[in-house]
Amino acid sequence: MLSFLQRRLTLLFITAFILTIIAFIVDRVLVASHNPEVINHQNYFYQYSNYLWHILNGNFGYSSLDNKDLIKRGLVFFASTLELCFVALIFSSFFAIPMGILAGLFRNSRLDYVIMTIAIVALALPVFWVGVMAVLLPSVWGDLLPVDGNLSLIYDVPVVTGFLLIDTLFVVDKYDLFAFIDRVAHLILPALTLSFFLITEIVRLTRSSMTMVMRSNYIQAAYAKGFSRRKIVVAHALRNALPPIIPQLRLQMSTIFSFAMTIEIVFNLNGIGKWLFISLKSGDYLVLPVGILIISGFILTFSIFIEIFMVIISPLRRSALYAD
């Protein structure tokens, strides 16, 4: 186990080192191409060492538009994007896991064909088009849900954690739960739009995992002992079919974040996608390497954390680890 942790932490540091090199190259090439006067003629090793030293000290630079700390603003906007992805994951899991379980239990049946057809159609729909259609819903069905912004302008919520679902709970004395409810209302349509892609992935993964588990020898032995199908599915199949979905889903993290950033632009959400888009459009190119480090760093750290977590909870992964 210690050697496994050592290998993963080594991988984390090496990949983080490569990310800083990529961010440095983007910073030098992109910024220098738009501002030739800032080109430094010192050797690149010295420039990179200086750049890495500033990063290790938390100095990622300041915005050329409002002179605010880039890393602090980037983390606040990234927290909003994480919140959107988390709510979308809850929505998609609520619908997709039962659909995937049914498709796996009744593989090659009419129910399986209907579920997979729905999943394939959801995957084929471009996420930005689904977002635009969701924005047009109030003009067709009436003003049911907000389609613009993170929170109504009547609420003044100070930034504490960056997650508005949490920050709105800190102003309960001032607004009761109305600010929290308003935040939830602003998240519903964007999260449902993002969940279209997630539903497809979770249905496919759950169906494949459930099918493999139901064909396992211990499931056949449970049938031979006379256990009911319901008991076998609930007590044995689900417990072994759901954990393998987690490491497979983490491979889609980069795609999920790219879709989330697109949705932020469509719904005018103050997330990291909109922040990067507006900043680059306004000529504030220093935000690009900061955005690369924040997003890539989170995906890398999250992936390694999931690997360690799966080794802890999965006996099969632990046995394979000890065998290696």
- Residue 311 placed within a domain: yes
Domain co-membership, 232 together with 311: yes
Domain co-membership, 74 together with 125: yes
* Position 31 pLDDT exceeds 70: no
* Tens of pLDDT, residues 100-131: 888 888 888 888 888 888 888 887 888 888 88
**Residue 165 three-state SS:** helix
Residue 183 identity: R
Poorest-pLDDT segment among 30-34, 161-165, 258-262: 30-34
- In total, how many domains does the chain have? 2
Residue 155 identity: Y
What pLDDT sits at residue 59? 80
Domain co-membership, 139 together with 226: yes
Q: How would residue 235 be classed by pLDDT, with cut points 50, 70 and 90?
A: confident
* Position 322 pLDDT exceeds 60: no
Contact criterion met (CB below 8 Å) for 285 and 30: yes
- For the residues 296-312, what does the mean pLDDT come to? 80
* Position 307 pLDDT exceeds 80: no
- For the residues 272-300, what does the mean pLDDT come to? 84
What pLDDT sits at residue 39? 56
- Residue 64 placed within a domain: no
**Residue 282 three-state SS:** coil
Domain co-membership, 117 together with 39: no
**Mean pLDDT score across all residues of the chain:** 80
* Tens of pLDDT, residues 254-275: 778 888 888 888 888 888 888 8
Domain co-membership, 227 together with 120: yes
Q: How would residue 8 be classed by pLDDT, with cut points 50, 70 and 90?
A: confident
**Residue 62 three-state SS:** strand
Q: How would residue 242 be classed by pLDDT, with cut points 50, 70 and 90?
A: confident
- For the residues 229-237, what does the mean pLDDT come to? 78
* Position 311 pLDDT exceeds 80: no
Domain co-membership, 45 together with 123: no
- Residue span of the structural domain in which 83 resides: 70-323
* Tens of pLDDT, residues 51-96: 888 888 878 778 777 778 888 888 889 999 999 988 888 888 888 8
Domain co-membership, 55 together with 81: no
Domain co-membership, 222 together with 74: yes
* Position 310 pLDDT exceeds 80: no
- Residue 4 placed within a domain: no
Q: Which ranges of 35-147 does DSSP label H, i.e. alpha helix?
A: 44-56, 70-105, 110-124, 127-135, 137-141
Domain co-membership, 211 together with 80: yes
Question: Element (H or E) spanning 254, and its range?
Answer: helix 253-267
Question: Element (H or E) spanning 253, and its range?
Answer: helix 253-267
List, as one string, the DSSP characters of 184-239: HHHHHHHHHHHHHHHHHHHHHHHHHHHHHHHTSHHHHHHHHTT--HHHHIIIIIHH
Instruction: Report the predicted TM-score, pTM, of the whole model to 2 decimal places.
Output: 0.82
Domain co-membership, 167 together with 256: yes
- For the residues 28-56, what does the mean pLDDT come to? 70
* Tens of pLDDT, residues 137-146: 765 555 667 8
